[in-house]
Amino acid sequence: MARALELAGRGLYTATPNPRVGCVIVREGAVAGEGWHERAGAPHAEVNALAAAGARARGATAYVSLEPCVHQGRTGPCAEALIGAGIARVVAALQDPNPLVAGGGLAMLRGKGIDVSCGLLEDEAREMNIGFLSRMTRSRPWVRVKLAASLDGKIALLNGRSQWITGEAARRDGHHWRARACAVLTGFGTVREDDPRLTVREVATPRQPLRVVVDSRLETPPTARILEGGGVLVAAAREERARIAALEAKGAEVVVLPNSAGKVDLYALFRELARRELNEVHVEGGFRLNGSLLAEGLVDELVVYLAPSIIGDAAQGMFHLPELADLGGRRQLAVRDLAMVGLDIRVVARFV
Q: Which residues are CB-neighbours of 18 under 8 A, at least 6 positions away?
A: 37, 39, 40, 132
The alpha carbon dihedral of 288, 294, 299, 305 has a sign of positive
Q: Rounded distance, CA 278 to CA 124, Å?
A: 21
Q: Rounded distance, CA 193 to CA 195, Å?
A: 6
263, 118 in Cβ contact below 8 A? no
Within a 13 Å sphere around the CA of 54, how many CA atoms are in the beta-carbon half?
0
Of the candidates 332, 331, 335, the residue with the CA atom closest to the CA atom of residue 346:
335
Q: Rounded distance, CA 55 to CA 329, Å?
A: 61
Coil/strand/helix, residue 13: coil
Coil/strand/helix, residue 346: strand
- DSSP code, position 29: T
Active-site entry in 46, 67, 280, 301: 46
Catalytic residue at 28? no
Task: Tell me the C-alpha to C-alpha distance, in Å, between residue 166 and each of 4, 200, 201, 344.
Answer: 36, 18, 17, 7
Q: Rounded distance, CA 27 to CA 103, Å?
A: 25
Distance of alpha carbon 237 from its chain centroid, rounded? 25
Task: Tell me the C-alpha to C-alpha distance, in Å, between residue 110 and each of 24, 25, 99.
Answer: 19, 18, 19
Q: Supply the residues annotated as catalytic.
A: 46
